[in-house]
Amino acid sequence: MNSMISVRGVSKHYETARGLVRSLENVSLEVEQGEFITLVGPSGCGKSTMLNLMAGLLEPTSGEVLVDGKVVTGPGPDRGVIFQQYALFPWLTALQNVEFGLRLQHMKKTERRELAQHYLDLVGLGEFAHALPKELSGGMKQRCAIARAYAVQPSTLLMDEPFGALDALTRVNMQENLLETWQQERRTAVFITHDVDEAVFLATRVVVMSPRPGRISEIIDVPLAYPRTEEMRLSPEFAELRARVWRGVHHHAEEDAA
């Protein structure tokens, strides 16, 4: 089949003063074009590491990562990334932050501005277009980062806990937004979350990771149809999937704690 992202026998080790840290150990994963993968796992199990490898921001210690059939050698605008730490440019306003990527696509000023404003509105920051990052609350910064990644309309979206700092309602809205555009434009998405509900609601497949060394411990197919609705969340099928994912994460975490 048509693999958009192939992770092939990838390990990522860090040499630290305390010894070797095996962030990822011999991990393989195929993500197909148009798939929506969610990554779950206990804190520190290597989710961000995996995402950064796909983004081309890290180099594997061994193995290789392919995107669209080509070995990843660096980041590119084909893969949009939402960082766990927002990474907004502090000297630019919210609007300018969103425009940053558009400017690189040589979009005309009015068009660019309009599009950026559109995405800010989408994440509920329309009024704060001219605010600097330091004037935004935590959740607002996160939403600004989301708008920035969406705006460039990358064919693959790599998201590291993008909705972590959002309140429940905003979060649900953002989930629905995301699914909507993903469906329309058949993007590929890799999404890290700690929210099991969210993991199931969004994904075609949930990838469960376990720590030390970071490995994929389970891959759970989510056979629910799109568009996903709020009712689905209440379905027994959903509950069952949620429980499976929870156990997946839980199980290894318990082991870890032991």
Partner 1 sequence: MTDIKAQMEAVSISDGSRAPGAARPKSQGKRGRDKPLTWLYVTTLVLGIAIWWLGALLGNNVLAPTPPQVVESFIEGFSDGSLLMNTWASVQRVLIGFVLGVAVAIPAGFLMGWYRWARGLLEPWVQFFRTVPPLALIPLVIVFLGIGEPAKIFVIFLAAFLSSVLATFQGVRNVDVTLINAARVLGAGDGTIFVKVVIPASLPFIFVGTRVALGAAWATVVASELIAAAFGLGRMMQSASQFLDTPRIVVGIIMIGLLGFVMDRLLLLLERKLTGWQETR
**By C-beta, is 37 or 166 nearer to a copy of itself?**
166
Asked if 85 interacts with Mg ion (CB under 5 A), we say no
Closest CA to 159 of 200, 126, 114, 199: 199
Q: Which stretch binds Mg ion (CB under 5 A): 12-20, 21-29, 137-145, 194-202?
A: 137-145
Q: 4 near 31, Cβ under 8 Å?
A: yes
Asked if 52 interacts with partner 1 (CB under 8 A), we say yes
Tokens of 179: 């699914």
What residues have CB less than 8 Å from 20, skipping those under 6 apart?
13, 14
Instruction: Note the residues at the interface with a copy of itself (CB under 8 A).
Output: 14, 16-18, 21, 40-44, 47-48, 84-85, 124, 130-131, 135-140, 143, 160-161, 164-171, 194-196, 246, 249-250, 253-254, 257
**By C-beta, is 6 or 48 nearer to a copy of itself?**
48
Q: Which stretch binds Mg ion (CB under 5 A): 29-37, 134-142, 175-183, 242-250?
A: 134-142
Closest CA to 237 of 253, 224, 256: 224
Range list of β-strands (E), the chain: 3-16, 19-32, 36-40, 62-67, 70-71, 79-82, 156-160, 188-192, 205-210, 215-221
Query: What whole-number distance in Å separates Cα of residue 203 and Cα of residue 191?
Result: 8
Q: 137 near 154, Cβ under 8 Å?
A: no
**By C-beta, is 14 or 226 nearer to partner 1?**
14
Q: List the single partner that 148 binds among partner 1, ligand ATP, Mg ion, none, CB under 5 to 8 Å by kind.
A: partner 1
Q: Which stretch binds partner 1 (CB under 8 A): 27-35, 132-140, 177-185, 240-248?
A: 132-140
The number of residues that bind partner 1 (CB under 8 A) is: 39
User: ∠184-189-191 over CA atoms, to 5°?
Assistant: 130
Instruction: Note the residues at the interface with ligand ATP (CB under 6 A).
Output: 14, 16, 21, 23, 41, 43-49, 84, 134-140, 165, 214
User: Binding residue for partner 1 (CB under 8 A) from 61, 170, 183, 204?
Assistant: 61
Query: What whole-number distance in Å separates Cα of residue 122 and Cα of residue 142?
Result: 13
Query: What whole-number distance in Å separates Cα of residue 245 and Cα of residue 193?
Result: 12
Asked if 111 interacts with partner 1 (CB under 8 A), we say no
**By C-beta, is 21 or 92 nearer to ligand ATP?**
21
**By C-beta, is 33 or 61 nearer to ligand ATP?**
61
Q: Cα 6 from chain centroid? A: 16
Query: What whole-number distance in Å separates Cα of residue 61 and Cα of residue 65?
Result: 11
Whether a cis peptide bond, with omega within 30° of 0, leads into 223 is no
**By C-beta, is 90 or 236 nearer to partner 1?**
90
User: Binding residue for Mg ion (CB under 5 A) from 6, 23, 38, 48?
Assistant: 48
Interface contacts to partner 1, rule CB under 8 A: 12-16, 52, 55, 57-62, 73-77, 79-81, 83, 85, 87-92, 100-101, 104-105, 132-135, 148, 152
